[in-house]
C-alpha cells in the first residue's frame, strides 16, 4: 500500500473575503486622479477624498464604521449610501472579483473601491456625489451583533442617514 498523504501548504491561503482596504486604518487621505487600487481595476478619473474607517455612533451608543469617498471641493454634495452586510472594503477580494467574471465583465469595469453590490466611487465622485460604504452593526470592526431586515437594522440605517445629512461636506441629500 502506498502512502497517499496530501501535501498541505505551510502558509495559510488568503481569505477570499479580504481586500486591499480590509485592514482597519482610520484616517483621511486624497487619492489623486489616476490612482489605481490594484492593476486589474479602473483608475480614478478625478481627485477623491477618502475618509477610511470613520467612527459613527448609533442612538444606542453602538459604534459602527464607514468609508466615505467624495469630491475634492468646498461645495457640499449629495451622498449615496451602500447598506449591506457584505463588508465595506472588499471590492478587491477574490470573492467579489470573481463575480464580475461570472457575468462577463472585466475587473477594469470598476475601481475596486466599491462595496459588493454597491456604487463605484470612481464613477459617482466624478459626477459630483459622495459614496458612503457602511459596515453596519456587527460587521468587521463595527460593534454589536449583526441583525438584518428587522427594526434595529432600520433604526441604524436611519441614524446613518441623519448623521450623513449633517456632515459639513454633505448638502443634506442622502440616498
3.40.50.1820, 3.40.50.970, 3.30.2320.50, 2.40.128.110: which CATH number matches 27-174? 3.40.50.1820
Adjacency order of strands within the sheet including 130-135: 27-31, 48-57, 63-71, 130-135, 77-82, 170-174
> Where do the domains of the chain lie?
27-174
Q: What angle (nearest 5°) sits at the alpha carbon of residue 53, between those of residues 47 and 54?
A: 90
* pLDDT tens track, the chain, 175 positions: 555 554 544 454 455 556 788 888 999 999 999 999 988 899 999 999 999 999 999 999 999 999 999 999 999 999 999 998 888 887 777 777 777 778 888 889 899 899 888 999 999 999 999 999 999 999 888 999 988 888 999 999 999 999 999 999 999 999 9
Amino acid at each position: 500500500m502506498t502512502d497517499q498523504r496530501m501535501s498541505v501548504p505551510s502558509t495559510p491561503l488568503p481569505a477570499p473575503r479580504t481586500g486591499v482596504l480590509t485592514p482597519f486604518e482610520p484616517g483621511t487621505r486624497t487619492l489623486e486622479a489616476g490612482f489605481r487600487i490594484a492593476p486589474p481595476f479602473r483608475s480614478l478619473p478625478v481627485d477623491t477624498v477618502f475618509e477610511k474607517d470613520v467612527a459613527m455612533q448609533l442612538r444606542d451608543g453602538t459604534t459602527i464604521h464607514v468609508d466615505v469617498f467624495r469630491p475634492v471641493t468646498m461645495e457640499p454634495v449629495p451622498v449615496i449610501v451602500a447598506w449591506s452586510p457584505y463588508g465595506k472594503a472588499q471590492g478587491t477580494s477574490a470573492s467579489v472579483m470573481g463575480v464580475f467574471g461570472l457575468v462577463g465583465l472585466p475587473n477594469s469595469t470598476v475601481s475596486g473601491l466599491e462595496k459588493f453590490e454597491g456604487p463605484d466611487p470612481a464613477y459617482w465622485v466624478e459626477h459630483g456625489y459622495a459614496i458612503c460604504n457602511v459596515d453596519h452593526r456587527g460587521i468587521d470592526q463595527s460593534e454589536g451583533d449583526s441583525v438584518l431586515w428587522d427594526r434595529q437594522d432600520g433604526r441604524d440605517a436611519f441614524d446613518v442617514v441623519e448623521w450623513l445629512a449633517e456632515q459639513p461636506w454633505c448638502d443634506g441629500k442622502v440616498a
